[in-house]
Each structure stands twice: as structure tokens, then as C-alpha cells.
Structure 1
């Protein structure tokens, strides 16, 4: 009887204590303006303690994620409350809740997205920074203390709002660029959206528009099947994750160096920024794209190529579909 009572009390206390914390996300705003992060749990994942808040320039805030959490994090910009209705809205990254908390709403494109699946296949955390839905601000994810051959910094250090091609650019009230659309959003064509007859890796290929993003930010997702060079993994439970809006290279190197097992952004492999990209034209005789249409970057990911290739195949078969579903 006593054993049964103790077991019942243990189960009750366990249920009251809430979900087990798997990892911590630390969000830092290095922009010269306020950013309002949005956080969305995917279907079937427990909600986080917050779905949105304000981050002043230089401010950081940590959010704990439960075990096996899956979802996305992004930054909203140019936000304000309407004086008449009190409704809160943002010019980019809007989640449609009418409040600072997103209340489960997803990000309206174009928005830079950080995507996570914690404690996924093979006991790994999977993460990426995606420009598939366009870009609204630079963002980098840096694991701290993580383990694994492809456990390293990823994201986009470049503010693409200025050099964004005219047909993809979103401008604010003053005419300045505030976001950069994906080709899918701009044109809605199946070949740009990887839909319909173009819904497989064989039929959906990088376009000039997606290469604009890839050339500037080689480690970030540029289109739906950009898995091999854009999905990163850390052994589950070994890392916390720093998510920085508008990071500088010096701050990134400092963040990376504090996690000794993570590769430096200066080590061989895919760079965070492609410094060799020309700004002269698209490379096909057109001058409408500020970045050259260059060849695809190396696949090495700071790992021996057989391991990187195996990781890419595993990602495609087991993990990438979940990330593509997150972006739908």
C-alpha cells in the first residue's frame, strides 16, 4: 500500500513539474533597432513559455524548450500598436495575432526563419536558417557546447534588403527596402515553389532568384530542396543555441570560440558569407541581380566528405521532409 501511494505521488509530482527541459535558446538583438522575436511550435510539439516579445538593441533573453520540441523562431521588424484600435502589427514577420505574443500564428513572408527539431532521428538536434520564405533581417544560429561533425554555426550575416533585386524587394513607407521576397512568393510559379510537377529534387532546381540568396549566404536554405548544404545537426542534449539578429563577424567568432567543439566560421568548408561573390550582375548577361550567378559552394561542411555525404543523405530521407512541412 505504501509503495503504491509513493508511486502515485511520484507520478502526480512528475505531471505537476511540467515538461523536461531539453535545451535553451538565447535570443540576442545586435540590430540598431528593436526586434520582436516570434516563436512557433510545430503541430504536436509542446508550447513554449512565450510566443513573442520585444528585444531592444543589445538585449538578450533566454527561452527554455521542452524535450523533443520542434518549431521555428524569427524576428519581426517595424512593429507598433494602432492608436485607435490598439492592435499590434509588424511590417515584416507579422504573425497576425494583433498582439506582441503570436498566439500560434506563423510568420508572414518574406521572413528569415530559424528551424529546429530537437531530439529527432538518431538522437540528434536538427536545425537550419531558411531563406526559402525570403529574408527580412540577418540571423545566425550558433550551438554552444554541442557535439557532432556538422554541429556548427549557420545562418545569414548579410542584410539583403538593400541589394535585393527590384522584382523581389519589399519597400517601406520611405521607399527603403525592408525585406526581400522569395521567387515563390513573387511569381507563384510551380518551378519556384517546388510544387506540382516540380515537387521532387530532380525536377525542382535552383533558380537565379534562389541563387541570389545562396551566393550571399551559402549555409542558409535557399529553396525547398537545398538540404545537403543547409541542415546542421548536434547530438541531442549537448548544446544550447544562440540566435542572434544582425550579428557581426566579431561577435560570431566570440560566440563560436566559447563552444570549443564547434567549427570556427573561418575553418575550411561552407562559409557563412561568400566574400568572392561579384556585385556586377547576375552572370547571365542581365544586370537585374546584384549578386553574380556563381557556381554552387563546396559541400564539405568542415567534415570529411564521406561523412558529409552520408549526413546529407540521412537528412534528405529522415529529416528534411519535416523541415519542408514547417515551411508550408
Structure 2
């Protein structure tokens, strides 16, 4: 009878802990620091539980927090210059996913687009993340871990206006051709295997940085510039939540930005042209703080820490009970 009681207690405690762990998923807080509206797109990798939304509008200064399922993997990006035609078809000049709707519904970004890529709870229980320009660039982006641990748990991104440095052969312009709104990768522009790391160039030994990828790398040293740019571009954290900022401050240091809330990341930026228009505007951030003064992501991280501590307490209690019996 004593063993039956003990086993019942163990199963109850483990079930409670499993439920708590499932509820305390990783959170992504997306913040739009641009002067213009950005339409984030989200694509989950095959074989993983998807995030509940795949696309939405994010007005300037607005934030949106999203819970990701356990062990989620996928990517975020920003669509710009979006509109809906008279037939109700939704499309964007950059980062469009081809769904014809606000939601991307399982479709990825049409290059060129700046990508924020994640694999949660990967090897060694670590989250792996990066900002990638392998598919080109359309707007500045920063990933800032909120909490978390690890020797390489720091912010990364591309906060430079690459469109202003883009070679003419890679440049995507507005409909009137007056403004550069995105910058293609050499792979997308020329479709040659040495730029795409395919065929005979499909390995780190044979596919080397090109003069074009080096333009991206010089502008954004911690972002992926071509397919095998792993050493300086992949970052890892354990038990973190993440802030993804569009148009972050170009003066934000990669290390010093860790743990910043959206209102601490500001910038003066040039808005994408609205067909023939230009303009440089300053804006203010919007802080997603709750009444207690703690950010949503910090609160979630604290709850996760309590859950881990609870799990350890359960383990110790079970061991002590077994010793008594």
C-alpha cells in the first residue's frame, strides 16, 4: 500500500510538472521600431507544431507577443509596402509570401528578405538562432535574448541600411525605380552554383565567400552572409525568451542590447518609399510593461525558472521518500 501511495504521488507530481512546462513555452515579442507598418511573416519548419499565426500587421511602435510550442523551429521576417487590390488579393513589394492573404499559411518569404531563424531546444537543450541575409535583405532586424544563459547567449542582427549600399545588379527598386527597397543575394540575382553553394560548390570546402556576400558581411558582421557562414553567425541560449525588433538602433551594441525592452531600442530611420515618396522620420518606442513593471518576456522567464526549481524539488523529495522506504 505504501508503494502504491508513493507511486500515485510521483505520477501526480510529474504530471503537474509536465503540464507546467508545456504551458511555459518560449515567447517571442515582435516590436516595430520603423516609422512605417511592417507585416511580419512566420514559417514553421516541417514536422514541428506550428505557431498559431503566420502573418499579421504591426503598426509603427506596436508590439506583439507570441507563444511558441515546445521544440519549435522556424523563421520570422518582415514584409513591407503591402496592400490589397480591388479583388481582395494581399501582396507586398518585399518579403511577400505569395499566399494572397495577410496570413502566409505555410509559405515562406520570396527573396530578398532579412530572416530571423530559430531552433528551440536543440542539441544540448540549447536554442539556436541567427539573422540571415542568405536570401538577401529588405530591412534591419535584431534578435535580443530576454534572460537565458550560455556563453554565446547574446544579441545578433543586421542594423545597417544595406539597401543604401546595394550594388545596382542586386538592387530591388520601387515601382517608379527611384528608390532601393531591397537587396538580392548573388544566388537570387545570378542563379549560379558558386553563389548558391550547390552542385560542385555544395560544401564548406568548395563554397567560399564571394565579393557580393562580403558586402553583406562588412555591413552586418554577425549576420549570415552566405550558406556556410556558421562560425560568426550562429548564437545559442538556454531558457530564454526573445525580442525581435524591426529597424533597431544602429548604435545598439550586440552585447549591450541583451535584455533590452522594446522602448530601449530606438532609431531615426528612412521609411521605404510609398511609390515615389521619401522621408526620414524619428519615432518613439512602445514598452510592453505590465502593471508590476516587469516585461511580458521577463515575467515568462521568471515563471519558467520557478518551474525548473519545482522540478528539482520534486526529484529531491522522491529520492528522500525512496531512502525512507
Normalising TM by the smaller chain, what interval? 0.7 to 0.9
Partner of 1:223: 226
Q: What SS does structure 2 have at the residue aligned with 1:49?
A: coil
Which runs of no fewer than 5 residues in structure 1 stay unpaired? 260-328
Distance 1:104 1:148 in 2: 32
Partner of 1:321: none
| 1:79 maps to 2:89 | no
Partner of 2:240: 239
Deviations 1:61-105 (A, max 9, x none): 11111110000000000001112x101111111111111111111
Change (3 A) 1:71 1:154: same
Work out which structure has the larger RCO, using CA pairs closer than 8 Å and 6 or more positions apart in sequence: 2
TM-score w.r.t. the length of structure 1 is: 0.71
- Matched ranges for 1:156-175 at <5 A: 156-175=158-177
Deviations 1:285-307 (A, max 9, x none): xxxxxxxxxxxxxxxxxxxxxxx
Partner of 2:317: none
When structure 1 is superposed on structure 2, of 131-140 and 172-181 the one drifting more is: 172-181
Deviation (angstroms), 1:21: 3.9
Deviation (angstroms), 1:174: 2.9
TM-score w.r.t. the length of structure 2 is: 0.72
Q: What SS does structure 2 have at the residue aligned with 1:162?
A: helix
Deviation (angstroms), 1:160: 1.2
Partner of 2:249: 248
- Matched ranges for 1:100-249 at <5 A: 100-175=102-177, 176-235=179-238, 238-249=239-250
Find the partner of 1:28 among 31, 37, 42: 31
Which runs of no fewer than 5 residues in structure 2 stay unpaired? 261-325
Question: Would the aligned equivalents of 1:95 and 1:105 in 2 still touch at CA under 8 Å?
Answer: yes
| 1:60 maps to 2:63 | yes
Change (3 A) 1:249 1:160: closer
Question: Would the aligned equivalents of 2:160 and 2:250 in 1 still touch at CA under 8 Å?
Answer: no
Distance 1:91 1:25 in 2: 25
Distance 2:53 2:162 in 1: 28
Q: What SS does structure 2 have at the residue aligned with 1:210?
A: helix
Change (3 A) 1:18 1:39: farther
Distance 2:234 2:128 in 1: 7
Q: What SS does structure 2 have at the residue aligned with 1:214?
A: helix
Change (3 A) 1:121 1:79: same
Change (3 A) 1:255 1:74: farther
Deviation (angstroms), 1:258: 3.6
Question: Would the aligned equivalents of 1:21 and 1:65 in 2 still touch at CA under 8 Å?
Answer: no
Q: What SS does structure 2 have at the residue aligned with 1:256?
A: coil
Q: What SS does structure 2 have at the residue aligned with 1:145?
A: strand
Deviation (angstroms), 1:22: 2.7
Partner of 2:300: none
Distance 2:204 2:38 in 1: 35
Question: Would the aligned equivalents of 1:20 and 1:67 in 2 still touch at CA under 8 Å?
Answer: no
Give the superposed CA RMSD: 2.8
Partner of 2:294: none
| 1:69 maps to 2:72 | yes
Deviation (angstroms), 1:12: 11
Structure whose alpha-carbon radius of gyration is higher: 2
